[in-house]
């Protein structure tokens, strides 16, 4: 299995003058990815805690090392997206109560009552979703005209999701190799992920007072159908995950991810940089 996961951090500033609708002419995609940003830190905190809880069960040293680097990357995603919340606050969006409630009522409840195998199954499925969203946004260059600061943040995250897309699935095979559990994790995750993200994106558009504008619905149709084909492509990616012989290495594009990460690391100053402490001694030092 060839896979290189590099711990990095997002080193760029997210200045307060970033426009509210940072993808010109597409308030719908700006709002969908703002909703994604709002959900990322709690979501990724859940991955990190789940993988940390699994560590004592992982016998394979290589898988342990991949999990360690996965945790490092996810923790950095959470840090960077939380920094961007200051911009959302400054733009006047109300989202903090929603975010707190999702963390409390979804992730903390699942953590308290869900068996570890099911929790890993949820992480495995959402990691597949993260990887194909990343693949679609990067390969279709959907953010080509976006404000460069938000574009860098999103594209760094998308590329790392592609880079580490195999880890959670391989962990699920190691701790709970059970198709029924994978299917249950899929049903819960796909339902929750899309309900929460659509709810929050609609809420942001409503806060902007543009939800019922004709142009907004034209943009939704273009993103889901005629232009980005996200409805059809999402359905195909979701069904792929349910194939008994599925493995994340069958999807995504490592060369594309590497190209993006190399570009972001080679700017002056670099947009992403290797983390100073690339070899943490305990799991607590990473999350």
Could you list the residues that contact Fe ion (CB under 5 A)?
74, 77, 127, 130, 161
CB 77 to Fe ion: min, Å: 4
CB-nearer residue toward Fe ion: 87 or 124 = 124
CB 225 to Fe ion: min, Å: 27
CB-nearer residue toward Fe ion: 69 or 77 = 77
CB-nearer residue toward Fe ion: 77 or 223 = 77
C-beta nearest to Fe ion: residue? 77
CB 240 to Fe ion: min, Å: 17
| DSSP secondary structure of 30-48 | HHHHHHHHHHHHHHHHHHH
Q: Which one-letter DSSP state was computed for residue 56?
A: G
Structure tokens at 99: 């975010």
Measured distance CA(54)–CA(222) in Å, rounded: 42
Torsion angle, CA of 145/140/36/271, rounded to 10 degrees? -60
Contact 186, 242 (CB under 8 A): yes
CB 161 to Fe ion: min, Å: 5
CB 190 to Fe ion: min, Å: 16
278 exposure class (CB count in 10 Å sphere: 0-12, 13-18, 19+): exposed
The CA distances from residue 178 to 66, 117, 174, 278, in Å, are 21, 9, 10, 33
CB-nearer residue toward Fe ion: 192 or 220 = 192
CB-nearer residue toward Fe ion: 131 or 142 = 131
In sign, the C-alpha dihedral spanning 237, 156, 196, 127 is positive
CB-nearer residue toward Fe ion: 167 or 205 = 167
Contact 95, 204 (CB under 8 A): yes
CB 223 to Fe ion: min, Å: 22
Q: Locate tokens 């619905």: which residue?
A: 217
């Amino acid at each position: 299995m060839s896979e290189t996961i590099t711990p990095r951090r997002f080193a760029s500033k997210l200045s307060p003058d970033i426009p509210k609708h940072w993808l010109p002419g597409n308030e719908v995609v700006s709002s969908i990815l703002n909703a994604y940003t709002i959900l990322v830190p709690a979501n990724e905190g859940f991955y990190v805690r789940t993988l940390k809880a699994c560590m004592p069960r992982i016998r394979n040293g290589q898988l342990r090392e991949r999990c360690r680097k996965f945790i490092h990357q996810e923790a950095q995603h959470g840090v960077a997206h939380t920094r961007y919340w200051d911009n959302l606050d400054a733009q006047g969006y109300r989202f903090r109560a929603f975010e707190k409630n999702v963390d409390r009522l979804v992730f903390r409840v699942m953590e308290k009552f869900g068996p570890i195998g099911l929790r890993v199954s949820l992480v495995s499925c959402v990691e597949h979703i993260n990887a194909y969203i990343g693949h679609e946004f990067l390969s279709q260059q959907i953010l080509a005209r976006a404000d460069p600061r938000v574009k860098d943040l999103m594209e760094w995250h998308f590329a790392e999701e592609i880079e580490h897309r195999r880890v959670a699935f391989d962990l699920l095979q190691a701790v709970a190799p059970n198709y029924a559990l994978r299917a249950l994790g899929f049903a819960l995750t796909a339902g929750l992920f899309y309900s929460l993200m659509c709810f929050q994106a609609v809420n942001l558009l409503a806060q902007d007072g543009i939800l019922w504008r004709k142009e907004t619905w034209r943009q939704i149709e273009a993103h889901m159908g005629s232009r980005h084909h996200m409805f059809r492509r999402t359905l195909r990616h979701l069904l792929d995950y349910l194939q008994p012989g599925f493995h994340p290495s069958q999807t995504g594009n490592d060369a594309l991810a590497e190209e993006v990460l190399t570009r972001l690391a080679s700017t002056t100053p670099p947009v992403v940089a290797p983390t100073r402490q690339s070899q943490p001694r305990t799991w607590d030092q990473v999350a």
